[in-house]
Structure 1
């Protein structure tokens, strides 16, 4: 029976990329303790990876290379960028983190003028610098080879010199526990530093990010003011946002 149950657990994880212990117990009609016993050998052999409260496919722990991700869900990311353009005013001050959705946002914001933009992404800086009298400040640090983004203590110290109206942040996932999550600790640290320097924080995320797990917690939903997305999220996410005072902006 345990081998059959382990096969069912693997199937559930393959379908969605991740699953909580509670959801697995409900799906298989067994106790959470039974699920924990059954996933232990799967974790030991590397078939799944553990995160707090659940398990995920090993494929979920690493994003594809940046340029490949730029082509994923392009329509959705461009829709998010269009929504952001309508909400940003000429002369605004912004922090934009590294990410494919924020890169599309930067392309859209090239239509605005007199912006003050702080970013750790060379991709974003190149799209906004010297356009319509916009001013772009690039954080220091070693640039990553894949996405040309800078992270680490020097980037965070640089951010602390600015106070902006809005931080626009991408995340790896928005999970059902009410958390914004990322794949890497340094990305989460940069996001939290950006939030501390901004009057408002807007999360920019296409619909694929809802329900997606990643191992590093950025913050709870209630710490942000808006989630800007290309399509209405599932009803349970809408209810949680309403309960925490987070505004959902959608196309």
Structure 2
């Protein structure tokens, strides 16, 4: 079977079954795991499928994935991104950690920093840091249960009193033309505010977010200092970002 035929069959199968496991695909297509991985990586870069724990699903089939699902999707890549982001965090910093599944991983790897202050609206980040030595500031507001976050409003929390050195932001889409975007207006408002206030803005996003422009615009690229992503990103983006003021950092394994 030719590669294009295999890839079409994979997509056809996914229209019938919501999720396909890796072992099911190797048997169904009668191919090796290495060949399957090449096909999966290609379809992922094209934005047609998404990797999940132990398998794949159609990209964007249900709009924004649940927080629980995103916590395990592309976990290895998100951990690599988080470790790279932590290289930009210094002792004594005051940082904002966003409510996404990638930025949550940052909280796991920066606890060794001294005199660190973390501002967050993420309930998982709060749970991760509550027993650490990190000074923790929680943004007040409405609980958004599906995102496990607090959606903040100016009249509840005085944003402009925050002195944020670095903000680590998540998003659902990145394009050269439109910058970063997300599915939820309330989350986008909080992210816009933090981008406005922070001295340095870092976007932590796995490679599947590139080439997507979803519902709500957050910020153009010129408002972003650095984007940290994984090694599966289409290499053509390296040349594209060299023409901008935004630095593209690739977290290697």
Query: Which aligned pairs between 1:12-31 and structure 2 lie closer than 5 A?
Result: 16=46
Query: Which aligned pairs between 1:218-229 and structure 2 lie closer than 5 A?
Result: 218-229=218-229
| Corresponding position of 2:7 | none
2:149 aligned counterpart, secondary structure:
coil
Matched, 1:153 2:153: yes
The count of corresponding residues between Structure 1 and Structure 2 is: 201
Q: Structure 1 residues 156, 179: closer, same or farther in 2, change over 3 A? A: farther
| Corresponding position of 1:119 | 120
Shift of 1:218: 0.8
1:243 aligned counterpart, secondary structure:
coil
Distance in 2 (alpha carbons) for counterparts of 1:90 and 1:152: 27
Distance in 1 (alpha carbons) for counterparts of 2:167 and 2:91: 16
Cα deviation 1:38-85 (Å, max 9, x = unaligned): xxxxxxxxxxxxxxxxxxx99456322111110000000000011012
- Name the Cα RMSD after superposition: 2.5
| Corresponding position of 1:41 | none
Distance in 2 (alpha carbons) for counterparts of 1:109 and 1:158: 26
Q: Structure 1 residues 209, 238: closer, same or farther in 2, change over 3 A? A: same
Shift of 1:245: 1.2
| Corresponding position of 1:165 | 165
Q: Is the 8 A contact 2:166 2:199 kept in 1?
A: yes
Unaligned runs of 5+ in 1: 1-10, 19-56
Distance in 1 (alpha carbons) for counterparts of 2:141 and 2:108: 24
**TM-score, normalising length: structure 1:** 0.72
1:164 aligned counterpart, secondary structure:
coil
Distance in 2 (alpha carbons) for counterparts of 1:181 and 1:87: 23
| Corresponding position of 1:110 | 111
After TM superposition, where is structure 1 displaced by more than 6 Å over at least 4 residues in a row?
Answer: none
Matched, 1:204 2:204: yes
Q: Is the 8 A contact 2:47 2:208 kept in 1?
A: no
Q: Structure 1 residues 60, 224: closer, same or farther in 2, change over 3 A? A: farther
Cα deviation 1:175-232 (Å, max 9, x = unaligned): 2424111111112111110011110100001111111231111111111110111216
**TM-score, normalising length: structure 2:** 0.72
Distance in 2 (alpha carbons) for counterparts of 1:93 and 1:155: 23
Q: Structure 1 residues 80, 156: closer, same or farther in 2, change over 3 A? A: farther
Distance in 1 (alpha carbons) for counterparts of 2:236 and 2:59: 26
Distance in 2 (alpha carbons) for counterparts of 1:149 and 1:91: 25
